[in-house]
Amino acid sequence: MFKVIIVEDSRLVKLELKSQLKKVDYITCVAEAENIEQALKVFEKHQPDLVFLDVDLPDGNGFDF
């Protein structure tokens, strides 16, 4: 099972991505974040295998993460 986190500030994009990920049996979304500060916290807590990362975030860009 792959643990993933979603870092996305758009509610609609996040909902669609979660909907698509639910169709994949070997992926589980363990956390979500809306900005880099939240992303760092959930990344450290959950140690995901994969991160779906928005590039343009309110407190910087995905590359800063």
Domain boundaries, the chain: 2-59
pLDDT at 64 over 90: no
16-59 pLDDT tens trace: 999 999 999 999 999 999 999 999 999 999 999 999 999 999 99
pLDDT, position 46: 98
Q: Determine the pLDDT at residue 65.
A: 85
Angle, vertex CA 29, rays to CA 25 and CA 34, nearest 5: 150
Q: Which CATH number fits domain 2-59: 3.20.20.10, 3.30.43.10, 3.40.50.720, 3.40.50.2300?
A: 3.40.50.2300
Quick check: 63 pLDDT over 90?
A: no
At residue 62 the predicted structure's pLDDT band, cuts being 50, 70 and 90, is: confident
